[in-house]
Each structure stands twice: as C-alpha cells, then as structure tokens.
A and B are shown apart, each in its own frame.
Chain A
Amino acid sequence: MHSYGVTAPHLRLVTPEPGPDVEAGSHSESGGVPSRMPSLDELYRSYSRYVAWFAARILGRSEDVDDVVHDVFVSAAEQLGDIREPMAIKRWLATVTVRQAQRRLQRRRWLVPLGFGESLAHDDLSSREASPEDRALLSEVYRRLDRVPPEVRIAWVLRYMEGEKLGQVAELCGCSLAAVKRRLSKAHDAMKDLVDVQ
C-alpha cells in the first residue's frame, strides 16, 4: 500500500509512528502545542499527519482520508480566526475530523447496500511490518465495525484505537457520557470473541 515495498532483506523502512511533526518541512517544536495562533501552512505541516491518521482509524479505509484531510483544513482556513486559544487547535481539528468522518460513514452506510460504495477491503490499512495474523486481525476489526452504526463505530475507535478517555470520547462525539457508554456496549457485542477490551 505504501512505498516501502522494495527493500533488501536486511532493511525494511516503515512510515514513522503517528505524530504531528513528520511532514516535509515540519518545523514545530517537539510536537508541543503552539504558543500563538499558527498560519494555515504551519497548521497543515504540523497536524495533517495527525488528522490523516485520526481519520483513517475512524474510516477504516485509506481512500477517503485525503478528502477528509482536505475538508478539515478548509474548515480550519475558514475558522482559524475564531479559535481563541492556540492550545485548543489540536482538539478542534480532532472534533472537525470526527464530524467529517462521521458524515462519510453515514453516506457509505447508505450507498454500499445500494451497490454504489466501494468494496470494504481493509488490507490497505495494514503496516507492511505487521504479521499476517495482525493484518487479518485489523481487517476483521474493521469488517465488524462496518456492521455497526457510525456513531457506535466512532466511539469504539476513539476509545480503543485512539486510546481516548470516556469523557474525551463524549466531547469529540458531541454526546453525553451515558451515550458513549451505550455505544461502546453495542460495539463490544459486535467485537465479541475478537478483541479483549475492558
């Protein structure tokens, strides 16, 4: 899926760990939060990777990610001036990403049964470093997530794939803590016998 396919036996490069500061021309300081309001360019350099990974984890498919990143930063360009606190930017981007991704998941949920959606293969989300077992596991996780409503899927991904706390999941989803718990419970049913979450 990504570029590091042709390598010699002793060396396999992988894409860096997810984080905000690995883009070309990145310059932010050790991933720290900005102390002043950044420009759009700065914002993109610092957070596009974060948004892309975040969106991909929710969507479970690589090809929609570019569109989400694009749309999130269009929103950022339009609303950057409304954000009063530079430290809140990352959270704000995460919230917008969740909304954009949810919109796409809802659309997909309607289109796929009608035959308009793409296939639901998830192999393109596996690292080349991953073992065949783990690739299969990841694929199965998303196959099961495809069966649950978008809001349930998002809550589960945020909680377990992103490692967010329950309160943060509620904040990102724009719902109550009780609603998050209900959604996670539904997701657990779908994930039964596959993943061992508490």
Chain B
Amino acid sequence: MSNNNQPAVERARNAFDPGWTPERSASVRARLARTLQQRKSRPIWHWVGSAAAAAVLLVGVAAAVRLVPSGEGAGERDHSAAAPLAQQEIHPGRTVRFEDGSLVELLDPATSILPRDSKPASVRVVQTGGAAMYRVAKVPYQAFTVLVGVVTIQVRGTVFRVVPVRRGAHVSVHEGRVAVVMGTQERELGPGESGLFDPDADALAGASSSAQTEVAPNPNAASGRPSAVDLGWREMARKGDYKGAYGLLKESGMKVADTPAELMLAADAARLSGHPGEAAVLLESVLRHGASPQAGVAAFTLGRLYLDKLGRPAQAATAFALCRQLAGGGALGEMALARSVDAQLGLGNQSEAKRLAEEYLRSYPNGSYASRLRSFAQEQGAHP
C-alpha cells in the first residue's frame, strides 16, 4: 500500500482515517438533537420574558416570518405582515396563516401564539394559552415546532390540536405524526392518538403518572420516576462519558427503559466503553421494537459488533440483512450490503459473498465500496 516515491505529506494524507462511522455520526446527531432540545425547553420565562421584551421580539420575528392572519370574511389583510402580533386582534375562529402555508386555527379567546426564531428551515411557535388547531404544511426539510410550557411538539405535515395545561399541554393528532418532547422523555403520537404531557401532573401522580397519558405508557413512569442513577447514566452518556455511564448502568443492574431511544443510548454506553456483549443485547432489544427510527442504525451496529468484536459472522449476516430491509437503498443500506459480503466471507461462504458483491455493484456501481468489491468480484472470476 505504501508508495515511497510519493511525497511524504501525500502519504500521510492518504494514510489518514479518523474512523467517522455511520453510528458515530448518528450518535453525535442524537446528542445534537438533545442539546438543541434542551435549549428550546428552557423555562418559559427564558424566552417569553416581560411583555416589553415579547413585543420587541415580535416586531422582528413577524417581519421575518410574515405572519399573516387570514380568515373567513373581510379584513384579513388588515393585519399586515409587519404588524406585531401583540397588536393584532386575533379572535377565536380566526386562522393564522404562515408563509409556508401552515395554518393555525385559534379555538379559544384565551389562545395566544407567538412565532419565535423562525427561519426558512424551521418555524417555531410558542403557544401560551387557549386551544389551537395546527394544520402544518408538508414542506420538505422544514421543521415546524410548537413550544408549550416545558413541552415541545415537533411536526412535519400534520394536523393536530394543542391545549396548554399548566406547564404542559394536551396534544391530539388528527393526521400525520408528531413527536412530543418533555424533558428527557419523548413520545410519538399518530393519527387518532392523544396525550397529556404535563410535568406537574407527572410529579403529583408519581408512579401512576402514565395514567394521565393516553399513549403507550412510558416504562420509566410505570416503574416510578427515574432514579438519580437513571438520570446520571443518561447525562453521562449524552456528554460522551460512556465509561462512567456504563459504570452507573451496571450499578443500577442494567435497568434501562424499554424504549428504542433509551436502549440505543445504553447500547452506546456499553459499546463505547468496551462491552460489546452487553451492547449487542441492548441493540437486539431496540430491534424488538420493530421499525423505530433507531432500528436501522441499531441493526447495522449490531452487525458490526457481531462481526468485528464478537466473532459471530452468522448473526452479523442476519443483522446486516435486517438493516438492509430497514434502510432500503439509502447509504446505510449500501454499507450494510457491503458489510454483508464481509460476514459471508467470515462464514467461509465465498459464493454468497460473491453474489452479494455483485448485487452491490449492480445497485451502487459508483458506491463508496465499489472499487474494492469490484476487485474482489474480479478475483473471484465472475464479475467482468
């Protein structure tokens, strides 16, 4: 591989590889999402502030978002895009239209919505009272977020109703799906589902808090509020201290809430602290949840662990095959197919490896692994 005729700096450059793997990327992405979520979920006074501050905020944001109330009947254009929302008389039954086509129907006289920090790629709205029906336009790559008390509702092309309740909200979904985040917990609601997300109710209800929620119960809530150890390992894992997180997890008897996100975080802690066996068990638990958002990465990571760390190519082959099913033809699917070749070679199954390599070359002729797999296939004397 070394070519000593090459300039040394070029050889050094070519030898470089920081090992930026898909699961590492996914892990940082998840951490990034949590960081941003935590910033969004600051106490209400952080971002609402005094009435004067809100008015100043509105002047700027209204201009950026061009919030235009529309409604049945005349006078809808009386509320100019640049006018601060605080100065607009928005009555129940009126509809607020956003520039992206999203509509918010104000259902109650007490309803108050404030656009906040809206940008082309994302619209954020603070709802502080009343009740509102959101009809969010399906705009590719645009995130529409509603902040209610300590609850954050993330949506993309859906219809749902929000009623603020104390520090939280009652959310009911009519179409599409929304993700509701409260503190470290996250729930996804589908059509016809609704849930009460209220930290006060949770605190008052204690162990029976899940009774307040009409969606699938959260194992944390069902078994009582998270203990200090539970909170500790998560915090440490999110900060990248996987060794510390794994230590705390062990202390707690590896008690992990049975949700894909929690299991994935625990698997990261185990895997990145050098415990591939435990990580594999946790990743298999993620997969038992079916096609969750984490499933594709979980299957790929599991395949890698089985193949590279645990010496179990048969299980690795199964995991990569599952990953391909979950990921389809995306980049993850491509990598899973490439690594399936490895798994088959680990099993000593040259013919299946060759078949998979050829499948890869047909599907991804210019893929990241194409040149190597082409060499392999040519060595096997089959691929032209």
The chain A residues found within 8 Å of chain B, CB to CB, are: 1-8, 10-17, 22-26, 36-42, 44, 48-49, 52-53, 56-57, 62, 65-67, 69-70, 73-74, 77, 80-81, 124-135, 137-138, 141, 160-161, 194-197
Contacts and interface: CB of A to CB of B under 8 A. Distances in A.
B141 interface: yes
B121 A39 contact: yes
B335 to A, nearest CB: 8
Given A8-B345, A62-B19, A24 B1 contact: no
A37 B218 CA distance: 37
A129 B17 CA distance: 9
Contacts of A12: 372
A46 B200 CA distance: 40
B143 interface: yes
A195 B12 contact: yes
User: SS class of chain B's interface: helix, strand, loop or mixed?
Assistant: helix
Contacts of B380: 10
A7 to B, nearest CB: 5
B141 A127 contact: no
Contacts of A53: 18, 20
A4 B9 contact: no
Interface of B: 1-2, 4, 7-9, 11-22, 24-29, 31-32, 35-36, 64, 117, 119-122, 141-143, 240, 296-297, 304, 307-308, 311, 313, 327, 330-332, 335, 338-339, 341-342, 345-346, 353, 357, 368-369, 372-373, 376, 379-380
Nearest to B344: A8
Nearest to A162: B13
A62 B18 contact: yes
Contact of A14 (B17, B25, B121, B345): B17
B346 A126 contact: no
A14 to B, nearest CB: 7
Contacts of A132: 2
A13 B25 contact: no
Nearest to A77: B36
Contacts of B27: 66
Contact of B25 (A23, A67, A131): A23
B121 A23 contact: no
9 contacts: A13-B341, A16-B368, A22-B368, A23-B331, A57-B18, A66-B240, A81-B64, A124-B19, A134-B15
